[in-house]
Every structure is written in structure tokens, then in C-alpha cells.
Structure 1
Amino acid sequence: MYSFKNDYSEGAHLQILNALIETNMVQEEGYGEDQYSLQAAELLKKKMNNAHVAIHFLTGGTQTNMTAISSFLRPHEAAVAAVSGHINVHETGAIETTGHKVLTADCGKDGKLTIAAIQAVLDAHPDEHMVKPKLVYISDTTEIGAVYTKSELEQLSAFCKSHHLYLYLDGARLGSALASSANDLELSDLPNLVDAFYIGGTKNGALLGEALVICNDALKEDFRFLMKQKGAMLAKGRLTGLQFLVLFRDNLFFDLASHANVMAEKISEAVQAAGYDFLTPPVSNQIFPILPNTVLSELHQQFNFFDWEKVDEHRTAVRLVTSWATKEEAVDAFIESLKKKVTE
């Protein structure tokens, strides 16, 4: 049974596995001081046209969010996130375990935060009798597969700066966002618009690993101390650094993200041709078609995917996720099954 449940079911791209094997017996410094991590950091700086950012390699998204956000905030400060935000819904209270509250803001079906939604949270926390909103958390893509435009991010950035808020971007699926046909952002735009963000490797061809990019000088000091304290400093840091070196050396990162998006687009076109709608417009490797329950019962017998949201008594929005490794024949099989059910 083929799975469209997520984009991390497979191991890693062969180029990464080969690089890990080829360098396996090379002795290196530990804790991210190895040649591969240092080279990867310099390569990423060149890709961003910014020599001043600080880059740290961590192993997973939740670990990165928890380490970064808790390090950036003072004890009385809180993070603001969309109701559907990953730190609010899917990280088991990781941020809260560090003593920082996650304040939720209303968002639309697409999961994007707006200035009005953030302002409402600020208005509800006016004084020292409450936690102080200090960091705005967004993700690109969002949990609902939407992407932020450059204009939207510029507006959020300007608002956060004017209100002395940090803007932090979760990039678990940043590859898919940047490769989306709906996107007009460049990787090099991000250091100018956010205080920190991370580039997700785990969901885009790496065995594991995320590259945290700290752009705001005020947040850089002693970060390695804080990583170590929170168990986020890998002794064999070479494992993460080498993977990002391979991903960005020859554009592999964007090639893999583009493949995931193309596979999702192919399914989206078939869903639309069958006359079905979507919970949100399909623009990334996460798509949310609304299908009749009778159709779903048949598809679930052949494919794994999540039922996302009940739309009405007869229809359900599902989440289909394609990946860097999704096989086109599996996509074709899904489409054929969908067409067959429609014509019955």
C-alpha cells in the first residue's frame, strides 16, 4: 500500500547516502566544527548573499523550534502562532516545557498569520499581569500547504519591527515553498525579512537535519551554549553538515522540492478534472482535496493518507503529501483509481 501520508517516509537521497559512506572513515572534529559543516555554512551564506548570518545544524524540526524560540525569549515572553501552527498543534507542548506560552491567533483556512490577527493578540496582552508577546512564529509552507508571498512577508516583517517583535519562520517545508509556482520569494530575501528561520532537510531528501539561520545579531550570542544545554548539539555534527553540503552544492535541494511539487500538481489536476474542490488552493507538496466519503473508502484500501477535516455529512477534506522520492507510477495509480471511482 503506497503512502501519501508525509514526506519523510523514505530514508535519504542516494547522493547523500553515498557521501556519508565515502567520508565515513575520515576523522573530523565534533560538535559542528568539522570541515563539512563549516563548508556547508559558508555555502549557505553564499546562496543567501549574506555573510553575516549565523548558521547552526540541528537534527529535527521540533528540536530546532524549541531550542531557538526558548533561547530567543526572556522568561516572561511568549510566542504568537496561528491556531494551526506546528508549535501549537504538533509539538507536544515543547515550547511550553521551556516556560514560554504559545499564544494563538486566528487565521484563515490557509494557516497564514495576518497583521490584524497578531494585533488582536497584542491588544489582549497589554501589561505585566500577562505574558508579553515577543516572537511571531510562521511557517512556509503553512500547515495547510499555503505559501507566503514576498509582499505578505514584507508586511509582517515591517509590523514586527515596528512593534519590537521577533519574526521567526519554520522552514520544515521551505524547499516546497520556494519551488512553488505561487512563490515569488528567493532564499536570499529571508535574512532581510525575518530574525531567524530554518531550512528543512528532513522533509526534503536528507536522512535528518535542519539548518537554523540566525539573522538578528542580538540573537546570535552564546547560541552554541544554549544548543548544548538543550541537548541539540550533536557530537557527530558532521552528519548534518555533510548532508546540507550535498543538498546545496549542485542545486539538489531545489530539484528534490520541485519533484515533490510536480507530483502534487499532477494529482491536483486530476482532482480538479474529476470535478472536486480543495480545502485550500493546491500550491505545494501538501494538497487538501475534498472528496466524497464513498470515494475515500475505496482509495483508503489502496493508499495511505490522512483524513484532515470533515466538510459535511458526505464529504471529507484529506491531506495528500508528495515527497522528493514520490514515484510517478504511484501518482498515476492514485489518479487511475480516482478516475475509476468517478466513472462508476
Structure 2
Amino acid sequence: MKYLFRNDYSFGAHPKVMDAVCAVNLEGNWGYGDDQYTARAKDRIREVCGCPDAMVEFLIGGTQTNVVACSFLLKPWEAAICPDSGHLNGHEVGAFEATGHKILTVPATPEGKITPDMLPPLLELHQDPHLTKPGLVYISNSTENGAVYTKAELTALSEFCHKNGLLLFADGARLGAALTSDANDLTLPEFAHLVDAFYIGGTKNGAMFGEALVITRPELTDGFFRMKKRMGAVMEKGWIQGVTFLTLFEDDLYFKMARQGNEMAARLQNGLKAKGWTLWVESPTNQVFAVIPNQVKPKVDEVCDCEVWCPYDESHTVIRFVTCFHTTQADVDGLLAALPNL
């Protein structure tokens, strides 16, 4: 048996999501999100975020949401500040920069975070009117390295951004994993009120596809639907996303699925350490990073699909295992039994 731990979107959707979509499949609904399910889903998200005046819009995937939202929030001469490991910079083929906006990178912490003390030199440099003006700080929660921002960290970054005229945008592709992590001390409403815009990732947490973009400040939202349409991001059958996100936020399903992924990742991480494996970082979410000798990689490939993350040195490689809502204890224990001791 070969185990699948390559990412958290290898499986379709939670059965409750599939059942909900099938139940209204031939009902007939207005398109472009002008339907009752989308309206109810937006209201529900405003409720769980504690942001009654927020704009909520549904998009298809993470890259699309990052590009549409960040380019909408910035003036044409403004740039986004991003950790060098950030998805916007490192994994989206210049999609954001293709809109005409520049990415200004700063070296991330080993956890993949930005801290306020990293930013003043960059802001000082870009006072020159011949350079792009920083207008937005992009972060991910959880980060690309599996870490989460604490309340103190996010508060400090939020206060710095607002003091210096910067918007704070959070990539929430794995927001469920972050908010259900044992390392997290933020509620969803607290998180929402510390950022200017973020999205609730569905693709990587039990939805067939879809992200819910939340812009918490109404004064920033004028014309967003037109921008969304202009960039080809409006889905004709928008009611599917409405039904999906209504289901995700019934009976705590969204957080239950994320918690399942985290718990299985912790079991895998502890099991690897017990087998003598070295971790690249200690991750409190659903991504597990391990350092292995290069000669061991073929043995891993025989029993598991995972991802090569980065070189470690000439003779070692960092690989990544990812768990999800569909990962079971039997999957983890079976993989651990099949992997070699190191």
C-alpha cells in the first residue's frame, strides 16, 4: 500500500459538503453569487468573524484570491511587502507581479514569519519617490513552514502596519490549521480584527474548492466585484460556493476538519522522532518537515507520496508530509510502520 501525504487537497470534499451540494444540484439558482445560499453564507462568515460590516466574497483558489485581493487593495504605484518564503513570492509564478505591482521581499524568520523590526529599513529606502511605495504587508497563517502567529506577534505587526500607513493582508489557505493549533492563542474574531483583509481557505480544508475573502474595513471595498469580474474570478455557478461555505460553518465542521489534520500531523511528527528522524522545524499544524539522507529518499518513495521541500545540504534533503481532514490514525500508523528507522 502506498500512502498519500503529499498535500491537503488530494481528496475531494467532506461528505457533508458533497451531500449539501447534491441536495440543491437541480434546484435552480441565480448565477454570479446572487443567490440565497451565497447571501446566507456571507452573513454566517460575518457572524463567526465578529465583523458585521465586512465584505465577504468567494473565489476559487488561493493564488487567485491573493492576486485579486492584493492588486485591488493597492494603488498602481504601490508594492506588497512579503517574506521571501511567502506563497505570493515563492509559489505563484509572478502572478501578482503580472498585475504591475512589485513584491518587496524581506528574509523570513525560520518559521516563515515577518516581524515589525524587519520593516523600517525597507520603508526608509522606499521614501525615494522614484521607487515603488510599500502599501501592504502580506503574511500567511499558518505559514509556509507550518508555524502560526501568536496574538502578541500579530498585534505588534498590526499596530506597526497601521502606524506606518500599511495594510495587513493574511493568506488564510491554511487558516483552519492555524486557528486549531495547540500553538494558537487567537480566536477567529480576534484574528479578523487585527488584519485588514484575509481569507478563509476551503480548498485545503474539506471543500471541493473555494476561498472566502473577508475585507474587514468597508471603506476599502468599493468596486471589488468589478475588479473580481475584470480579472476573470467571478464564478457563474456561485451558489455552489455559497452552499459549500454554509456547510463548512455548520456544527463547527470547518474547525473539526482542521483539528483532525493537526492531530494526525502531531502523531506523525512524534512517530518520526521516535524512529530517529530529524525534523527541519517543529510544526504545530498539519505540515511535517523532516530531514533525510538522500539515499533514503527512494525507500520513502516506495511507500509514500510526499513532497521534496528543499535541499538541506549535499547529502540530505528536506521532505514535507501533509495531513488533512481525511487522514486517519490508521494512515499515520501504517506509514510509520512502513518507513525505515534512521
Deviations 1:255-292 (A, max 9, x none): 10011111101111112222333222121001112223
| Other structure's SS at 1:284 match | coil
CA distance in 2, matches of 1:241, 1:83: 34
Amino acid at match of 2:104: L
1:79, 1:137 within 8 Å by CA — same for their partners in 2? yes
Amino acid at match of 1:44: I
CA displacement at 1:123 relative to structure 2: 2.4
1:43, 1:249 within 8 Å by CA — same for their partners in 2? no
Amino acid at match of 1:309: C
Amino acid at match of 2:73: F
1:125, 1:133 within 8 Å by CA — same for their partners in 2? yes
Q: Does 1:308 align with 2:309?
A: yes
Aligned to 2:299: 298
**Ranges in structure 2 where 5+ consecutive residues have no aligned partner:** none
CA displacement at 1:317 relative to structure 2: 1.7
| Bigger Cα displacement from structure 2, 225-234 vs 132-141 | 225-234
| Other structure's SS at 1:63 match | helix
CA displacement at 1:218 relative to structure 2: 2.4
Q: Does 1:237 align with 2:238?
A: yes
- Length, aligned pairs only: 341
| Other structure's SS at 1:299 match | helix
Structure 1 residues 202-217: aligned runs within 5 Å: 202-217=203-218
Structure 1 residues 111-150: aligned runs within 5 Å: 111-150=112-151
CA distance in 2, matches of 1:198, 1:207: 16
**Ranges in structure 1 where 5+ consecutive residues have no aligned partner:** none
Aligned to 1:100: 101
CA distance in 1, matches of 2:275, 2:303: 19
Q: Does 1:269 align with 2:248?
A: no
Using structure 1 for the length normalisation, give the TM-score: 0.96
| Other structure's SS at 2:226 match | helix
1:264, 1:285 within 8 Å by CA — same for their partners in 2? yes
Using structure 2 for the length normalisation, give the TM-score: 0.97
Amino acid at match of 2:118: A
1:168, 1:196 within 8 Å by CA — same for their partners in 2? yes
Aligned to 1:59: 60
Over aligned residues, Cα RMSD in angstroms?
Answer: 1.3
Q: Does 1:254 align with 2:281?
A: no
Aligned to 1:342: 341
Aligned to 2:14: 13
CA distance in 2, matches of 1:178, 1:108: 20
Amino acid at match of 2:142: T
Aligned to 1:227: 228
CA displacement at 1:185 relative to structure 2: 0.9
| Other structure's SS at 2:76 match | coil
2:276, 2:341 within 8 Å by CA — same for their partners in 1? no
2:277, 2:341 within 8 Å by CA — same for their partners in 1? no
CA distance in 2, matches of 1:172, 1:116: 26
| Other structure's SS at 1:289 match | strand
Q: Does 1:189 align with 2:193?
A: no
| Other structure's SS at 1:134 match | strand
CA distance in 2, matches of 1:120, 1:319: 33
1:179, 1:257 within 8 Å by CA — same for their partners in 2? yes
CA displacement at 1:253 relative to structure 2: 0.3
1:176, 1:258 within 8 Å by CA — same for their partners in 2? yes
CA distance in 1, matches of 2:138, 2:204: 19
CA displacement at 1:32 relative to structure 2: 1.1
Percentage of pairs with the same residue: 44
CA distance in 1, matches of 2:192, 2:258: 21
CA displacement at 1:312 relative to structure 2: 2.6
CA displacement at 1:47 relative to structure 2: 1.0
Amino acid at match of 1:271: L
CA displacement at 1:219 relative to structure 2: 1.2
Deviations 1:104-146 (A, max 9, x none): 0111221101112222321231221000011000000111111
Amino acid at match of 1:19: A
Aligned to 1:70: 71
